[in-house]
Amino acid sequence: MVQKSVDAVAYSSGDTPPSRPVEWGRIAAHLGLAFLVILWTFPTVGLLVSSLRDKDQLAVTGWWTALMSSQRNEVARLAKADAQVEENSVFHIRGNLFEPGSGRSVISFGLRSTQLDAARPGDTLSMRAGGMITLEQDGSFDWVSPTPFTHTRGPRLFYVAAISPQFTFDNYVEVINAGGIGRSFVNSFTVTVPATVIPILIAAFAAYALAWMSFPGRGWIVAVVVGMLVVPLQMSLIPLLRMYNGIAGWTGGESKTYLGIWLAHTAFGLPLAIYLLRNYMAGLPREIMESARIDGASHFKIFTTMVLPLSFPALASFAIFQFLWVWNDLLVATVFLGNSEKTLVLTGRLRELLGSRGDNWEILTSGAFISIVVPLIVFFSLQRYFVRGLLAGSVK
């Protein structure tokens, strides 16, 4: 008390209090966290920029060059002789190599692919079909001849084009207007919502029993649940499918149904759900449970009126995990639903849009952002519970 009084007097008299030491460890941790955030943001930024780029530019240059002009070797076939017009006894074939608004300009041109730098915009070259051609920077050309043109096939003109940066929503329009996208959205919701709710309900009951009810073999059950977390989905997928098909054949039902994929996602999601919820519920205050038991409340009453409301952060954490996993799933949906037009989910529809040889791969960028709209809404709606529930269920 005497020392504190002396310090207070010293500070009040104008003396400078001792400075706090610099917490280098804390600064390093924050810098490392910022670096990881930036590192994981780069792919998303690249995906967004690519989804807004023109297809031609996207095919030849990376997203980091989106704000720079690019060069591309191209070839154009000129018009036939029937497109000529006569002016003052001179015959002309005029046109433009570029479509309006293409953002292209000519850097150089030639009559062969090996002579792309034979002439510059505004220069004139002699054509093998007769006459002289002049090509301007904007792509307009004037092919002039003192005698009528007689060629039946337009000659090719090779040139180097400078392409200015272009951003467009055409990729999004193509994906949205593709046939079956709306139905695939509905199918994805039909699969995802029950496949998220069902394992949460089952896991909540199981987690409460493993946390607060005493019965023989409880420890072994917890050990089995933890062990099932390391079982790869791919190893259990085929045995589970064969088992389900056998049951469906024995009962005379169809094998490719929504019920099958609901059960599959429930089976794959239950170990993690039980693990998280059980550890969270086990950390709830024991005094509350004992007080409720003294007042005569049953386990079901305690579970529904006390444990579930207190466990909402953990429930929200698993709901985000399960929703994201099921919404983005393609493997399980393909195996249990197939590729039928009536049951094809959104990820399967985007795969179909690529074509058999991936010819339309550029629409993957816009398709990815369209598909993550719903998961983003779910995540930001529940994100305040995410970290709290995840940590509470993992470190107990």
Length of the chain: 396
DSSP secondary structure of 302-336: HIIIIIHHHTHHHHHHHHHHHHHHHHT--HHHHHH
H or E element at residue 71: strand 70-77
Residues 6+ apart with CB under 8 A from 315: 200, 204, 277, 308, 389
The per-residue pLDDT for 355 is: 64
Q: Dihedral sign, CA of 164, 165, 167, 171?
A: positive
Report the pLDDT value the prediction gives residue 251, as an integer from 0 to 100. Answer: 58
Q: Which two tokens stand for residue 61?
A: 């240059």
Find the helix packing angle between 181-212 and 218-228, rounded to 10°.
150
The domain made up of 173-394 has a fold known as: MetI-like fold (1.10.3720)
Distance CA 50, CA 172 (A): 11
Q: How far apart are CA 268 and CA 248, in angstroms?
A: 20
Which of 324, 275, 312, 304 lies closest to 386, judged by CA? 312
Rounded Cα distance, 24 and 369, in Å? 39
Domain boundaries, the chain: 23-67, 70-164, 173-394
Q: How many whole angstroms separate alpha carbon 268 and alpha carbon 215?
A: 25
Going residue by residue through the chain, which has 396 residues, state the pLDDT in tens, using 9 for 90 and above: 444 444 444 444 555 555 566 678 888 888 888 898 888 888 888 888 888 888 777 777 788 888 888 888 899 999 988 889 999 889 999 999 998 877 889 999 999 888 888 999 999 999 988 899 999 999 999 999 999 998 888 899 999 998 888 888 888 888 888 777 888 888 999 999 999 999 999 999 999 999 888 888 888 988 888 888 888 887 887 787 788 777 766 655 566 788 888 988 998 899 989 998 898 888 888 888 888 888 888 888 888 888 888 888 888 888 888 999 999 998 888 888 878 878 889 888 888 877 655 566 777 888 888 888 888 888 888 777 665 555 554 444
Angle between helices 363-371 and 346-353 (to 10 degrees): 170
| Residue 206, pLDDT score | 92
Look at residue 14 in the predicted model and tell me its pLDDT: 52
pLDDT at position 370 is 85
